[in-house]
């Protein structure tokens, strides 16, 4: 009796995916738990494994869009018994595998890259090329393989102090990406992630009444605190004390102070959240992703930093699971790391508000009727005006400013 290979549930809002490749050839004898196929969705790439050992029959080929629950193949477990030692000896499955790789489009790859891709059965589409016009270099594949090796053995979060998966820097460093042939215009298809991102951004603009409020925060107190405790914090907790934990904690405090912000419109209902999962926008090679720090209200500062470091590492290695990306009630995005001093963020639904951090600049500020130089960050909060009124939005943002200018408030909750 054959066991069906179906597309598994991949998250609340995802109903379809893209069958990027079969890792096994049609008719191959597979082991239980062996990787069968690679499924791409808007935000993640996941591998579907075999439930049982047996002979694989492929029903839906690669490069097809598939729906959750769709049957894409069958495994005949009786065939496993017919093939003695199939499970015990992985070599026996290795034979058909190169066929799958050979069928892949290897045109345009340099000979060394071709060899590595075939030897390791890789999908060249997943490897970011740093050569001319985005060509994949041998070093890119070697770096990819190294990250692949490290990724499954990711250390537990409490040990993870800003994980450094940076591959050894190739010499000379990648040239700036001016078009190789000096063309004035080039055309490339959008990636799936970029396409989905584009759709969602337009959708948000069309379905919400989005508005942005601004404020500015004197960062001296947070910076002094960081300077004073940065070493003892790192020594005690094994993570660096960054700015993000202050902002996450301030946001949690503000959400508690102004609970209307922690709610969203669903049809004709208002749904109020009573938990504090905060999304952090992270720019990765694959594009913008928003992994979520769960129950930030129950985490210590060190807990927040560790959670962010772990998620950032996963984003870099593209090992984010769908659970890491869904359910944020509020989002923080930091344009400051690229140098922005002011920009208006777009909502990340179902959250009804998003906070934009920016670069800290020294600015003249009037304190006690004196002009002094202070490190100042502009804050921008976009919100859905259908559910959040101006008064609430401004109060919310002011609360964040107060908490950051006097972090002791976070401790005392005043």
By CB under 8 A, residue 147 contacts another protein: no
φ/ψ of 77, rounded to 5, equals -70, -25
189 contributes a contact to another protein by CB under 8 A: no
Interaction of residue 185 with another protein, rule CB under 8 A: no
Cβ burial, residue 381 (10 Å; 0-12/13-18/19+): buried
Contact 50, 29 (CB under 8 A): no
Q: Does 166 engage in binding with another protein (CB under 8 A)?
A: no
Catalytic hit among 76, 389, 402, 406: 389
Q: Which residue, 178 or 206, is less far from another protein as judged by CB? A: 178
* Dist CA 403 CA 411 (whole Å): 10
Strands annotated E in 77-195: none
358 catalytic? Reply is no
Asked whether position 131 contacts another protein by CB under 8 A, the answer is: yes
Least distance to another protein, CB of residue 1, Å: 47
137 interacts with another protein by CB under 8 A: yes
Residues in 342-361 that interact with another protein by CB under 8 A: none
Indicate which single residue of 11, 17, 124, 139 sits in contact with another protein (rule: CB under 8 A): 139
Of the listed pieces 71-79, 147-155, 169-177, 328-336, which binds another protein according to CB under 8 A? 169-177
Q: Toward another protein, which CB reaches closer, 172 or 189?
A: 172
Beta bridge mates, 375: 362
Q: Are the beta carbons of 234 and 240 closer than 8 angstroms?
A: yes
Catalytic one of 253, 385, 402, 406: 385
| Separation of alpha carbons 187 and 179, rounded Å | 11
Tell me if 28 sits within 8 A of 55, measured CB to CB: yes
Q: Decide: is 179 part of the binding site for another protein (CB under 8 A).
A: yes
Separation of alpha carbons 74 and 236, rounded Å: 52
| Helices vs strands, H then E, count in the chain | 11, 19
Q: Which stretch binds another protein (CB under 8 A): 23-31, 170-178, 306-314, 386-394?
A: 170-178
CA distance 356 to 359: 10
User: Which helix (H) or strand (E) is 233 found in, with range?
Assistant: helix 220-237
Q: Is residue 389 annotated as part of the catalytic site, yes or no?
A: yes
Contact call for residue 115 and another protein (CB under 8 A) = yes
Site string for another protein, 81-110 (x = CB under 8 A): -----------------------------x
d(CA 93, CA 73): 18
In DSSP notation, 293-308 reads ETTGGGS-HHHHHHHH
Sole binder of another protein in the list 104, 132, 240, 363 (CB under 8 A):
132
Burial group, residue 16, by CB count within 10 angstroms (0-12, 13-18, 19+): middle
Check binding of 142 to another protein (CB under 8 A).
Answer: yes
Pick the stretch among 112-120, 187-195, 251-259, 389-397 that binds another protein (CB under 8 A). 112-120
CB 94, min distance to another protein, A: 22
Q: How far is the CB of 336 from another protein (least distance, A)?
A: 27
Distance CA 4, CA 7 (A): 10
Q: Which is nearer to another protein, 135 or 237 (CB)?
A: 135
For another protein, how many residues bind (rule: CB under 8 A)?
24
Here the tokens at position 12 are: 């609340």
336 binds another protein (CB under 8 A): no
- What is the phi/psi pair of residue 378, to 5°? -80, 140
Nearest distance, CB of residue 116 and another protein, angstroms? 9
CB atoms under 10 Å from CB of 95, counted, come to 11
The residues carrying an active-site annotation are: 385, 389
Residues in touch with another protein (CB under 8 A): 110-115, 130-132, 135, 137-139, 142-143, 168, 170-172, 175, 178-179, 182, 184
């Amino acid at each position: 009796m054959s066991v069906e290979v179906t597309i598994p549930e991949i998250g609340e809002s995802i109903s379809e995916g893209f069958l990027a490749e079969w890792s096994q050839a049609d008719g191959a004898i597979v082991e239980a738990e062996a990787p069968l196929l690679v499924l791409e969705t808007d935000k993640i790439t996941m591998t579907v494994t075999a439930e049982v050992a047996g002979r694989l029959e492929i029903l839906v080929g690669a490069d097809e869009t598939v729906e959750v629950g769709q049957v894409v193949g069958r495994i005949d477990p009786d065939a496993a018994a017919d093939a003695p030692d199939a499970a015990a000896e992985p070599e026996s499955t290795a034979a058909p595998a190169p066929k799958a790789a050979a069928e892949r489009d290897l045109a345009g790859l340099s000979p060394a890259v071709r060899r590595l891709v075939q030897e390791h059965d890789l999908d060249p589409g997943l490897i970011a090329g740093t050569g001319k016009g985005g060509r994949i270099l041998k070093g890119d594949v070697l770096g990819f393989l190294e990250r692949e090796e490290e990724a499954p053995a990711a250390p537990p979060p409490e040990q993870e102090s800003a994980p450094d998966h940076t591959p050894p820097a190739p010499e000379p460093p990648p040239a700036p990406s001016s078009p190789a042939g000096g063309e004035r215009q080039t055309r490339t298809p959008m990636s799936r992630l970029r396409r989905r991102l584009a759709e969602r951004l337009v959708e948000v603009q069309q379905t919400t009444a989005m508005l942005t409020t601004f404020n500015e925060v004197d960062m001296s107190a947070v910076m002094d605190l960081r300077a004073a405790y940065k070493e003892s914090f790192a020594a005690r907790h094994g993570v660096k004390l960054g700015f993000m934990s202050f902002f996450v904690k301030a946001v949690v405090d503000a959400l508690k102070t102004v609970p209307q912000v922690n709610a969203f419109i669903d049809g004709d209902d208002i749904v109020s959240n009573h938990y504090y999962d905060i999304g952090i926008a992270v720019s990765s090679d694959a594009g913008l992703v928003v992994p979520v720090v769960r129950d930030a209200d129950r985490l210590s500062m060190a807990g927040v930093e560790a959670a962010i470091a772990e998620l950032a590492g996963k984003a870099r290695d593209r090992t984010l699971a769908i659970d890491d990306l869904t359910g944020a009630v509020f989002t923080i995005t930091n344009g400051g790391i690229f140098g922005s001093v002011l920009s208006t963020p777009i909502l990340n639904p179902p959250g009804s508000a998003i906070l934009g951090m920016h670069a800290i600049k020294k600015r003249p500020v009037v304190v006690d009727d004196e002009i002094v130089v202070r490190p100042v960050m502009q804050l921008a909060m976009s919100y859905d005006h259908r559910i959040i009124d101006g008064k609430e939005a401004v109060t919310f943002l002011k609360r964040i400013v107060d908490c950051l200018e006097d972090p002791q408030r976070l401790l005392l909750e005043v």
